[in-house]
Amino acid sequence: MDLECSDEQAELRQSAIGALDRLAPLSLARSFHAGDGEATALWRRLAELGWLGVGLDSDDPFGVPGLCLLAEQVGRRAAPTTLVDTALVARVAAACDSAQLERIVAGQPPLALAMLEPRSSWTSAPATTVTRAAGGELALSGEKLGVHHAASVGLLAVLAKLDGAPAVALVEPARAGVSIVPTPGIDPACAPCRVALHRVRVSESELLGGPAFAGALAYALDVAAVASTAEGLGAAAAALELAVAYALEREQYGRVIGGFQAVAHLLAEQHALRETAWAAVLYAAAALEERTDDAAAAAAVAKAHGAAAAKVVVEGALQAFGGVGFTREHDLHLVYRRALECAGRFGGPPEHERRVADLLLSREPALAGT
């Protein structure tokens, strides 16, 4: 397994840096904090660049590591995208041979993932249901929380239960029976919403399900968990860079504060922590791309370690800045919030630590026989 970026992946990263520098400066994230954010132009351009399909095809030169490289750059700018959500739904649609795949990857329209429910976790079975009426009509009912950009996208990918098995229903937000209410969140640039669904009509062609669904969803969730960790670590890296630059210019007692051992050691430790977490992400991305036997465990380790590391790194950056870093006016505030938001998506560190333990325990008989 090669953890070094290929030439194609390095070019993708450079292209992402150039595109996001133009399309998603930190001022765009700040506009969402002010209540007047607008990201549809950004979404349209990212779809045109082909980002929504990166790593999807077997002959794609970028793979899951390429998706993580894009997510990292999104995190560095706290950019308002649904890149990771779309990547998850696209992988499920591809595994289910759905005719919906083409428009999902094209971002026509952009979609948001509606998965988390009240009093549930990312791994809980959905309480939202698709029921069949006597005439064969399908109706979707339930409630979803923390749906990123639900008020702005043109399609909701709703995880639900159909005939006792999980499925995803693709419905337009404007459809009768759909209610969307913006809600407060850690990161306003993610524009989280509560989505209520009351007997929303859906057709068979709008459902992603079937025998391949459960395995496809499990795999797609691992990809999303690793990609969201990459996004959080990108935000943490941006916070650390801001802190280092500040430490090299802020003076106290006649010398820059970066020259004091306590500050220098603090920032060095945060850098080392971020690098180990990024290595875990790269390994997990490569394992998922190659579908190795340890891919699920690698994804859980990357999420557990990477999410916790991102939180420690941004908190270390806040320490270096002192009080000014806690103000809403400072750019550090933007990436700090993105790192915390990503840490909890698709399961937080405790959830994935338990998963690692379960996976290790399931291997005990095999290990005892070696």
pLDDT digit string (tens) for 239-287? 999 999 999 999 889 899 898 999 999 999 999 999 999 999 999 999 9
User: Quick check: 317 and 281 in contact, CB under 8 A?
Assistant: no
Helix 261-290 crosses helix 295-321 at what angle (to 10 degrees)?
Answer: 160
Question: Of 220, 145, 182, which Cα lies nearest the Cα of 32?
Answer: 182
Compute the distance between CA of residue 229 and CA of residue 261 in angstroms, rounded to an integer: 30
Model confidence pLDDT, tens digit, residues 36-90: 999 999 999 999 999 999 999 988 999 999 999 999 999 999 999 999 999 999 9
Q: What pTM value is reported for the model?
A: 0.94
Which tokens belong to 131? 């029921």
- The CATH superfamily assigned to 7-109 is Acyl-CoA dehydrogenase/oxidase, N-terminal domain (1.10.540.10)
45 alpha-carbon distance from chain centroid: 19
pLDDT at 150: 97
**What percentage of the chain carries pLDDT values higher than 70?**
97
Compute the distance between CA of residue 214 and CA of residue 221 in angstroms, rounded to an integer: 11
Q: What phi and psi values does residue 57 have, to the nearest 5 degrees?
A: -85, 155
Neighbours of 135 (CB within 10 A): 5
* Domain chopping of the chain, boundaries: 7-109, 112-208, 213-363
* H helix count then E strand count, the chain: 12, 10
pLDDT at 336: 96
pLDDT at 326: 79
Which tokens belong to 144? 């979803």
Helix 213-247 crosses helix 332-344 at what angle (to 10 degrees)?
Answer: 150
194 alpha-carbon distance from chain centroid: 18
- Identify the DSSP state of 120: -
- Identify the DSSP state of 96: T
pLDDT at 234: 98
> For the domain bounded by 112-208, which CATH number is listed?
2.40.110.10
Neighbours of 361 (CB within 10 A): 9
Q: What is the mean pLDDT of residues 289-297?
A: 95
- The CATH superfamily assigned to 213-363 is Butyryl-CoA Dehydrogenase, subunit A, domain 3 (1.20.140.10)
Q: Which amino acid is at 280?
A: A
pLDDT at 80: 98
